């Protein structure tokens, strides 16, 4: 009986001792202690979580060792792999390659299969984040044999991030296979864009129109990443001379007339090549003669928007010809295009249009906004006259904002530091004006202050940043943009449109920035 009691006492003491060990490592500090705790099975998962939060790369060797020992602990490997991807741990590449399980069945087969697939998914994602080409074959094999769509998606995207050119044919096969799920096919389009090989240009252009443009956003982004090698075929497509696309559209139901021109125009604008200007201008003349108003406006808006994105002053005369449009959205695109081109000589005509015509005052607001963002203090008197002459609940506030903007120009003119100071103004219209002016000044000292506004809660401020960063052509904003749109605001509905533009801006800067 005494022996039994003595045994119980030892067990209790051992339990207390273990509990004491758990308290030895303080949450949020003491990485060395948590690295040591990795060796204790009961503490390993907690230690991994703590080391992830501590973000101390001195833990890499300990984590690599723990990962290698965890062959029968897929959850632990999953958690550690996530850290390797975040830290881009090169030493973990070989262990993770060896840890990929090519025999896992579908996750519905049970808990073990599900856990193994989750580990495979995290490993594939981590290898893609690290970007080591030696992992490409392992990921490629995983992509081809896995029965789990989430694992396959991660493998596809990682092949793109690694820029695995040897995987292009496999990715094309997935993209074009109608038996594959559409989201996987869309991710194959994304991966092909990441690889950026010009040999996929023709299929990416075709993807702009495939299956009622389901793949348009991914294909658009892919073509922006590829850049100049895509321009000639896109111009041919715009002109209706791409036979593959014409055949595809002729065999598709429910496609609006003008979709061919509209989609090609948008991508040419996003790429931003001056080579496209002539073709876009020719198409403006052609479209203006179309009888069907809906189709005419759809294409015209895309063409003007593209000309603004390209930023070529040759576009000003044809744009000015359509200033009398009665539609608010058309005038909005016109105003934005003129702001982006940045030629202040158009301001007197904009003032004239804003103060005349039979259209509803609301349709004049985009013209007034353009005056404010293009104008200088020399335009102040005309704006104040416009305010006195036209009293309207839509137009008057816009004129007042424009007056504030041109007054700000009177304060700063060409003074870089003055405009940088205006970036902190509480009034979003002043921040917007400052961004456009800093873009026009072209001094890269403005890049860092402008980056501080990437997450601004005013959508017009974000559109202005797209223009400024395009003009400044610096690679600095790329990483911040990627984090914002893919992590911080992933799936945002409020900023969806402008954040898609942010993605294309980042792709353009990655290709052209110096």
First-to-final CA distance of the chain: 82
pLDDT of the residue at 12: 42
- What residues make up the domain containing 96? 36-193
Is residue 475 in some structural domain? Answer: no
Ordered DSSP codes for 295-324:
HHHHHHHHHHHHHHHHT-GGGHHHHHTTTT
At 125 the three-state DSSP class reads: helix
pLDDT of the residue at 362: 81
Q: Taking the CA atoms of the chain, what radius of gyration do you get in angstroms? A: 29
Is residue 252 in some structural domain? Answer: no
Evaluate if residue 5 carries a pLDDT over 70.
no
Is residue 279 in some structural domain? Answer: no
Does the model's pTM come out above 0.85? yes
The whole-angstrom separation of Cα 129 and Cα 89 is: 9
Tens of pLDDT, residues 97-155: 999 999 999 999 899 999 999 999 999 999 999 999 999 999 999 999 999 999 999 99
Is residue 73 in some structural domain? Answer: yes
Least confident of 5-14, 35-44, 248-257: 5-14
Banded model confidence at residue 13, pLDDT cuts 50, 70, 90:
very low
Asked if 414 and 442 touch (Cβ cutoff 8 Å), the reply is no
pLDDT of the residue at 394: 82
Least confident of 15-19, 147-151, 167-171, 300-304: 15-19
The whole-angstrom separation of Cα 49 and Cα 67 is: 14
Q: Which of 450, 496, 497 is nearest to 473 (CA)?
A: 450
Least confident of 19-28, 29-38, 339-348: 19-28
Tokens of 210: 């495939």
Is residue 114 in some structural domain? Answer: yes
Domain count, the chain: 1
Is residue 88 in some structural domain? Answer: yes
Tens of pLDDT, residues 339-352: 999 999 999 999 99
Q: Please report, to the nearest 10 degrees, the dihedral formed by the alpha carbons of residues 128, 130, 131, 136 taken in order.
A: -60
Is residue 75 in some structural domain? Answer: yes
Evaluate if residue 19 carries a pLDDT over 80.
no
Is residue 24 in some structural domain? Answer: no
The CATH number linked to 109 is 1.25.10.10
């Amino acid at each position: 009986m005494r022996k039994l009691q003595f045994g119980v006492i030892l067990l209790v003491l051992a339990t207390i001792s273990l509990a004491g060990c758990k308290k030895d490592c303080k949450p949020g500090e003491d990485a060395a202690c948590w690295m040591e705790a990795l060796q204790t099975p009961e503490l390993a998962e907690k230690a991994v979580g703590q080391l992830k939060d501590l973000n101390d790369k001195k833990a890499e060797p300990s984590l690599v060792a723990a990962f290698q020992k965890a062959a029968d602990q897929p959850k632990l490997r999953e958690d550690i792999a996530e850290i390797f991807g975040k830290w881009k741990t090169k030493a973990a590449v070989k262990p993770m390659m060896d840890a990929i399980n090519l025999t896992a069945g579908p996750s519905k087969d049970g808990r073990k299969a599900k856990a193994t697939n989750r580990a495979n998914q995290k490993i594939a994602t981590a290898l893609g984040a690290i970007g080591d080409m030696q992992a490409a074959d392992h990921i490629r094999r995983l992509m081809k044999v896995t029965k789990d769509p989430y694992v396959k998606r991660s493998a596809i995207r990682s092949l793109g991030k690694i820029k695995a050119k040897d995987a292009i044919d496999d990715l094309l096969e997935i993209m074009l296979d109608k038996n594959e799920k559409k989201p996987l096919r869309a991710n194959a389009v994304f991966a092909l864009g990441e690889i950026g090989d010009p040999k996929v240009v023709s299929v990416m252009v075709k993807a702009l129109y495939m299956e009622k443009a389901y793949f348009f956003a991914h294909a658009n982004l892919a073509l922006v990443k590829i850049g100049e090698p895509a321009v000639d075929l896109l111009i041919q497509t715009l002109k209706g001379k791409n036979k593959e696309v014409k055949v595809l559209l002729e065999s598709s139901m429910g496609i609006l007339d003008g979709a061919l021109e509209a989609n090609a125009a948008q991508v040419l604008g996003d790429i931003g090549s001056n080579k496209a200007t002539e073709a876009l201008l020719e198409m403006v003349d052609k479209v203006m003669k179309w009888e069907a108003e809906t189709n005419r406006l759809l294409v015209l808006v895309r063409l003007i928007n593209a000309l603004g994105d390209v930023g070529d002053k040759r576009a000003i005369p044809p744009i000015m010809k359509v200033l009398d449009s009665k539609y608010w959205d058309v005038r909005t695109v016109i105003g934005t295009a003129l702001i982006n081109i940045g030629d202040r000589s158009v301001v007197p005509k904009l003032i004239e249009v804003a103060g005349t015509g039979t259209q509803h005052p609301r349709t004049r607001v985009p013209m007034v906004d353009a005056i404010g963002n293009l104008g200088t203090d020399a335009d102040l008197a005309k704006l104040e006259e416009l305010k006195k002459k036209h009293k309207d609940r839509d137009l008057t506030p816009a004129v007042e904002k424009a007056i504030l903007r041109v007054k700000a120009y009177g304060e700063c003119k060409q003074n870089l530091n003055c405009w940088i100071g205006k970036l902190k103004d509480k009034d979003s219209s002043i921040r917007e004006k400052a961004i456009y002016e800093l873009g026009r000044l072209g001094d890269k000292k403005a890049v860092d202050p402008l980056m501080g506004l990437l997450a601004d809660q005013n959508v017009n401020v974000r559109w202005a940043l797209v223009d400024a960063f395009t003009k400044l052509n610096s690679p600095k904003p790329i990483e911040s943009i990627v984090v914002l749109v893919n992590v911080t605001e992933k799936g945002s509905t409020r900023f969806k449109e402008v954040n898609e533009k942010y993605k294309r801006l980042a792709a353009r800067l990655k290709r052209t920035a110096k």
